[in-house]
Amino acid sequence: MSILIKSAKIIDANSKFNGKTQDILITNGKIKEIATSIPNSKAKEIINQKNLHVSTGWLDSSVCFGEPGLEERETLVNGAKTASLSGFTDIILNAVTDPYLDTKADVSYIKSKSSEFVINIHPTGCLTKESKSEKLADIYEMYQSGAVGFYDFKNPVNNPNLIKIALQYVQGFDGLVFSFPFEKSICPEGQMHEGEISTNYGLEGIPALSEEIMLKRDLKLLEYAGGKLHIPCISTKESVELIKEAKKNKLDVSCSVSINNLFFNDKKLKNFDTRFKVLPPIRSEDHRKALIKGVNDGIIDFVTSDHSPIDIDNKKTDFVNSLFGSTGLESMFGALNLLFSTEKSIEILTKNKSVFGINENKIDEGEIASLTLFDPDIKYKFSKDHIISKSKNSCFIDTDLKGKSYGIISNNSKLIIGN
């Protein structure tokens, strides 16, 4: 297959073509030629979009679908389409299924089902059996089947010895342990950030403390045991400082933040809109500003959409009974591109892939064509019409955004949509 991208501005700090508007010829999955003008006759397919920009493929480090078992939320096929059209060539898929992905066969199922997609799906397996925090799952066997890490999604591992043993065990094969920082016993019925709004409305809050004490525990375990640790979705200013200190001490730790926690503060919860019920909770403005600084300073390694589709029966209900979670793939770039410059946004979306064992590429002749195509300047109000996911529980509905993806080229194929 040959594809010719016409007049695209290249955004890639690692490429000699960075900032230049070029034609890019792709043949058999590799970039064959980059030049100011390449004849259309050299390719079977031509891509020519308005205000076209191109970068290396984007990564989202925390995505949920549902299949197997929760297909009413999202299927693998439609989820892959959603991620691809949102600009992502690679996603880290959480083990939020029924049953949980905690065996070699489970991970193999995801890999086999997704082998024909344009996008690369990198599954995680549960750290503990059935995410019950009682005994470790079949970690090494899942690693052999393609799991890039081990994570009880949003379920904190209460037993610190399990984290310690896991960190020691994965060192034998350079594995990655995830640990969600949340001491739930402090707020077993917590609904939103502990603050003025939760107090006024009489709902149990989720204090910053519930995140920070678990994070301190896990960093101490990492210091003791060694290994590699990923902390998904931090949400407090103290957590940023804890990660900063851990990195200063040369601990092998990485972390992410959800776009929800970067973009919104807890004032959005005044109307009990369940779309904004997420975990970790959207916190106060001082926490939000500290998280943005953490991203700018490079302390926070990833910004994730934290894409969590929830079916309408479990989301559009009263606040207490509504499940935590928001979709976010479709709105991710438009939100990120409002908070940061386009160049910074692309850096955020393309860096640190090696944390998950994913090859990092650049836009140059001879390189694998793993590319995202986008328009960073288009402004629009995000609506349900922009949601490709089966579930429509997005925080960003009725929010002004800037920038849209046209799609991706990856695995010798393309998935492109017009304006």
Q: Is 227 helix (H, G, I), strand (E, B) or coil?
A: coil
Q: What six digits make up the tokens of 169?
A: 């065990």
Task: State which H helix or E strand residue 223 sits in.
Answer: helix 208-225
What does the DSSP assignment read for 82-140?
HHHHTTEEEEEEP--SSS---SHHHHHHHHHHTTTSSSEEEE-B-SBGGG-SSSB--HH
Whether the Cβ atoms of residue 154 and residue 182 lie closer than 8 Å to each other: yes
User: At residue 142, what is the residue type?
Assistant: M
- Phi, psi of 32, rounded to the nearest 5 degrees: -90, -35
Whether the Cβ atoms of residue 212 and residue 194 lie closer than 8 Å to each other: no
**What 3 state SS string does 51-69 have?**
CCEEEECEEEEEECCCCCC
Task: Give me the catalytic one of 23, 306, 377, 400.
Answer: 306
306 belongs to the catalytic site: yes
**Start-to-end CA span in the chain (Å):** 24
Catalytic residues, which ones?
306
